[in-house]
Amino acid sequence: SRESHLQAWVSCWDSAEQPARLGIERLRADVWDMPLRPDIVHRCVLSQLAARRTVRGAGKRRSEVRGGGRKPRPQKGTGRSRQGSIRAPHYRGGGVAHPRMPRDWSFSLPKKVVAHGVRVALSDKYRRGALVVVEQTELAEGKTQLLTEKLSHLGLSFDQNQNSGHKVLIVGSNSHENAAQAACKLASQNIPWVDMVHAANCSVLKLVTHSVLLIGKDGLRDLEARFDQQAVPPGTLPMRTWPPGAVLREYHARQGVGTEAAGQAQ
């Protein structure tokens, strides 16, 4: 089957002396073997970039400029044109006719489209050989040098002068109480070519702007659980199904109507 071929090596990043391969991890086909859809990825990237977009500065309309409440001269009798305010757009110091104003550029996408875009981006990483699975994305202490050494054991580096190398996206588990994972997050903040996110925050924009996806086993399970079709959102109950006539019988039972009357009503 297709799913039997979806496997990834579990690499070792603790030391260069240890074996480079520690085992094999099975991957879900519905997450890592999706056909390429550039249109879906493009829509997701545009949505995220539009949400970041802001308008810096704003002008004032004629009603927002201070002053100009009094009519500058009488309507008739002067032989000059009619003027109602000295803060009109054609006056010096007046308001702007069409100023730049704060605007919300964001637009939403259906949740299924966003989830599809993430799966397409993940599948592209797998097909390109840019998926690196390790035992765990944890560090003993939040030191930048320690994280850089571990990445070098995997052959990952970046030359800022030549602007060439690997841009690494580390995906951790959704646990916010893991101190060792928090140390890895802290160490990555001082490396320009490394970024770390939780599995729940792994987005299409993050995936397409990084060349390598580094993920631990816990993060891999949490990432695949995002696309579980049977998962029920927290705080919701599954839909209750009613057999024919059960709704009416339930209603009459709550109203205190006898079963005979309920049967006649049916």
Averaged pLDDT, 82-86: 93
Fold of 3-53+106-225: Ribosomal Protein L4; Chain: A; (3.40.1370)
Percentage of the chain exceeding pLDDT 70:
86
Q: Please give the mean pLDDT across all residues of the chain.
A: 86
pLDDT tens profile 180-197: 889 999 999 999 999 999
Select, from the ranges 7-16, 94-103, 154-163, the one with the highest average predicted confidence (pLDDT).
Answer: 94-103
Q: Domain segments of the chain: what residues? A: 3-53+106-225
Contacts of 13 (CB under 8 A, 6+ apart): 134, 150, 151, 153, 154
Written in H, E and C, the secondary structure of 169-231 is EEEECCCCCCHHHHHHHHHHCCCCCEEEEEHHHCCHHHHHCCCEEEEEHHHHHHHHHCCCCCC
Averaged pLDDT, 122-150: 91
**pLDDT at position 260, please?**
53
